[in-house]
């Protein structure tokens, strides 16, 4: 599959994509937040490096256009309702850890506490409502999101074993970060080395500032629906590499770190991202996908450990995967105690009700072999040596 093809050059032309988003929305103001440099690097990498097939080109172009549409719509909502930027977000609890460490389960259980806000998948996928939105009627974005989730699972049934897809359940704000064009999402879809190198070295402050603005927008929307809560519960493994930036933009944030042996988690991440790469591009690149994601996860983990030394211990709680699988509620109560949050009877009952409705055995197992992706136990142990010494080996 050739890189830098004529099809890629036509699909990812900067001016055409900007014009497309403006034409589709009838809007022209993208707002004051910077995005053109990272967007330009991404589009150049997609034009010149990405081994995309026709489906991949269609999907990647659509995601860029949708991010621009989101920026245009959100800026228009803010113009009409400047009070959006007065929304107080408070001190969020942020769940982060390697993929496959129980972050999704913890996120959804903590979000079931009626005092807590979380963004559902349909909200992070489509954060800007139509401009003629009627808040008294069902939100049209929910049906769009449910159709998209169904299409994802139909196109790749393996995804059901990798992630509990549910359009109306809390999910990662990694898709909100995507609209800043500082995001690990594109490299999960296709091999784009120049963009990958750029975001690895870049300052992500503007991305987290824009994330905060999007959360203010979502909170304002929740308020229109009569939903008012005390705090946000955020979650994505992607935050591991950006603890300092996260804490600078959200000064009161507290973090829950989830832990599991990378020997058990990294191959799963490689499997998930190779599934994306093979669907949208060149299926011969499995080992490249695995190597990149082992490196990315080791990089984020190392950065998170370095960052933690700069803050007081009570900003963090460590929770291990085996303890989450055994009974997550005592682990959440321990985190609440550290963060000065009362575990009320109502919160405990809501969390238990969520567990009763969502047994893990309802999902198929995610099966994979290290050798499928050119990974070895020894290589993973070496890449995560300090992390395993500090958080894994002492627990065995």
What's the half-sphere exposure (Cβ side, CA atoms, 13 Å) at 161?
Answer: 13
- CA–CA dist 209, 130 (Å, integer): 23
pLDDT, one tens digit per residue, over 362-395 is 655 555 567 777 889 999 999 999 999 999 998 7
CA-nearest of 360, 97, 73, 127 to 241 is: 97
Residue 334 belongs to a domain with what CATH number?
A: 3.40.50.300
Say yes or no to pLDDT of 285 above 90: no
Q: What is the number of structural domains in the chain? A: 1
Strand partners, 117: 232
pLDDT, one tens digit per residue, over 61-117 is 999 999 999 999 999 999 999 999 999 998 999 999 998 899 999 999 999 999 999
Say yes or no to pLDDT of 119 above 80: yes
Please state the pTM of the whole predicted model.
0.94
Residue 34 lies inside a defined structural domain of this protein = no
Please state the separation of Cα 175 from the chain's center in Å: 5
pLDDT, one tens digit per residue, over 175-186 is 999 999 999 999
At 254 the three-state DSSP class reads strand
Say yes or no to pLDDT of 331 above 80: yes
Residue 222 lies inside a defined structural domain of this protein = yes
Banded pLDDT at 38 (limits 50, 70, 90): very high
Residue 148 lies inside a defined structural domain of this protein = yes
- CA–CA dist 192, 186 (Å, integer): 8
- CA–CA dist 92, 208 (Å, integer): 13
User: Domain range spanning residue 259?
Assistant: 90-395
Residue 13 lies inside a defined structural domain of this protein = no
E strand intervals along the chain: 93-97, 116-117, 231-235, 254-259, 316-320
Structure tokens at 368: 């994979």
Instruction: Look over the chain and give the mean of its residue pLDDT values, rounded to a whole number.
Output: 93
The dihedral of CA 118, 121, 127, 132: what is its sign?
negative
Q: Is 243 left (phi over 0), alpha (psi -120 to 50) or beta?
A: alpha
DSSP letters, 151-190, are: HHHHH-TTHHHHS---TTSB--THHHHGGGT--SHHHHHS
Phi, psi of 97 (to 5 degrees): 175, 170
pLDDT, one tens digit per residue, over 129-144 is 999 999 999 999 999 9
Residue 40 lies inside a defined structural domain of this protein = no
């Amino acid at each position: 599959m050739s890189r830098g093809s004529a099809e890629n050059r036509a699909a990812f032309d900067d001016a055409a994509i900007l014009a497309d988003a403006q034409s589709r929305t009838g809007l022209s103001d993208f707002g004051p937040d910077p995005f053109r440099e990272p967007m330009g690097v991404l589009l150049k990498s997609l034009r010149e490096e990405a081994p995309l097939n026709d489906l991949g080109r269609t999907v990647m172009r659509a995601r860029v256009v949708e991010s621009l549409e989101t920026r245009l719509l959100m800026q228009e909502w803010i113009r009409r309702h400047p009070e959006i930027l007065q929304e107080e977000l408070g001190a969020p609890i942020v769940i982060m850890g390697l993929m496959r460490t129980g972050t999704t389960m913890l996120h959804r259980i903590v979000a079931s506490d009626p005092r807590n806000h979380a963004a559902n998948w349909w909200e992070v996928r489509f954060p800007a409502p139509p401009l003629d939105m009627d808040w008294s009627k069902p939100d049209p974005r929910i049906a769009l999101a449910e159709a998209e989730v169904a299409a994802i699972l139909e196109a790749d049934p393996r995804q059901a074993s990798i992630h509990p897809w549910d359009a109306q359940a809390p999910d990662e704000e990694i898709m909100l970060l995507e609209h800043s064009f500082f995001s690990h999402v594109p490299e999960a879809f296709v091999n784009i080395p120049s963009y990958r190198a750029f975001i690895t070295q870049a300052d992500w402050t503007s991305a987290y500032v824009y994330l905060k603005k999007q959360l203010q927008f979502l909170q304002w929307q929740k308020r229109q629906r009569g939903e008012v809560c005390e705090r946000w519960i955020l979650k994505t493994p992607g935050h591991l590499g950006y603890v300092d930036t996260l804490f600078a933009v959200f000064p009161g944030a507290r973090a829950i770190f989830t832990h599991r042996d990378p020997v058990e988690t990294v191959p799963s991440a490689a499997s998930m991202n190779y599934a994306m790469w093979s669907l949208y591009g060149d299926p011969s690149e499995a080992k490249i996908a695995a190597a990149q994601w082992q490196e990315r996860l080791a990089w984020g983990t190392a950065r998170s450990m370095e960052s933690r030394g700069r803050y007081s211990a009570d900003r963090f709680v460590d929770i291990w995967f085996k303890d989450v699988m055994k009974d997550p509620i005592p682990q959440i109560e321990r985190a609440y105690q550290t963060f000065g949050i009362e575990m009320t009877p109502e919160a405990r009952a809501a969390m238990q009700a969520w567990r009763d409705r969502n047994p893990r055995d309802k999902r198929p197992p995610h099966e994979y072999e290290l050798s499928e992706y050119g990974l070895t136990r020894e290589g993973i142990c070496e890449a995560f040596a300090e992390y395993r010494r500090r958080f894994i080996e002492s627990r065995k």
